């Protein structure tokens, strides 16, 4: 995400920092077994939180998720389709092109969008409509989705928060898609796990998010490939 709000906007929405912070898990990349050519594909379709903003190759969420899944025995290839700065409207416009140009049809699409809409103060109704359209297109193509949610910063105001935060659980229920309620829950408000912009995770933070979401992704992938 670009031109981001200060940490306080997100920290107020996070859990208390009073508890000691455990050491971040080490990357599993070096121990990851070879991925079979026919491993199901997970498409990570989102913004900078998927794209790996300011991280080196291999340090972002998609490659570390792929490594963690395969190290745990869940064969999967995770394709990074994250674009930094994307709003839900921009992502909606590129969805068909992205899907049409995949070498293999994804078994599962992770949808992680909306943070830039919130940071720019875009109307929550537009965010909802765009995410709904994205999930509807995936439904039409019979591609299961997993939605990773976002929460509005408290300083956006009570009315904005009340309109924005219910978007993700409502759309997950409508489209029967599994939901990670708040993608940044494992790291938000903890400087040791964030870049100096206080919003994007650093490599240790990415590992924390992977650890917090890996099981939900594996469950969704199993359900998708069992259809």
Nearest alpha carbon to residue 144 among 113, 107, 180: 107
Which residues are tagged catalytic? 48, 197, 200
CA dihedral 9, 14, 17, 22 (to 10 degrees): -120
Measured distance CA(11)–CA(94) in Å, rounded: 32
188 SS3 class = coil
Angle at 47 between CA 150 and CA 85, to 5 degrees: 110
Phi/psi at 150 (5° precision):
-130, 155
Q: What is the Cα–Cα distance from 202 to 200, expressed in whole angstroms?
A: 7
Taking the C-alpha atoms of residue 76 and residue 64, their distance in angstroms, rounded to an integer, is 12
């Amino acid at each position: 995400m670009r031109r981001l709000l200060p940490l306080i906007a997100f920290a107020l929405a996070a859990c208390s920092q009073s508890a000691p912070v455990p050491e971040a898990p080490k990357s599993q990349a070096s121990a990851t077994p070879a991925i079979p050519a026919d491993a199901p594909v997970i498409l990570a379709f989102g913004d900078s939180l998927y794209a790996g903003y300011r991280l080196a190759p291999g340090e972002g969420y998609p490659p570390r998720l792929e490594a963690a899944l395969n190290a745990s025995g869940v064969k999967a290839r995770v394709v990074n389709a994250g674009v930094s700065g994307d709003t839900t409207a921009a992502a909606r416009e590129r969805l068909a092109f992205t899907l049409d140009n995949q070498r293999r049809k994804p078994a599962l699409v992770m949808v992680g969008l909306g943070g830039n809409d919130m940071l720019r103060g875009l109307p929550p109704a537009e965010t909802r409509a765009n995410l709904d359209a994205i999930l509807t297109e995936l439904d039409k193509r019979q591609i299961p989705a997993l939605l990773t949610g976002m929460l509005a910063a408290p300083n956006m105001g009570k009315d904005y928060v009340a309109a924005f935060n219910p978007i993700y659980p409502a759309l997950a229920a409508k489209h029967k898609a599994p939901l990670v309620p708040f993608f940044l829950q494992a790291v938000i408000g903890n400087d040791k796990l964030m870049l100096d912009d206080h919003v994007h995770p650093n490599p240790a933070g990415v590992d924390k998010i992977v650890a917090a979401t890996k099981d939900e992704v594996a469950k969704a992938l199993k359900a998708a490939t069992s259809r």
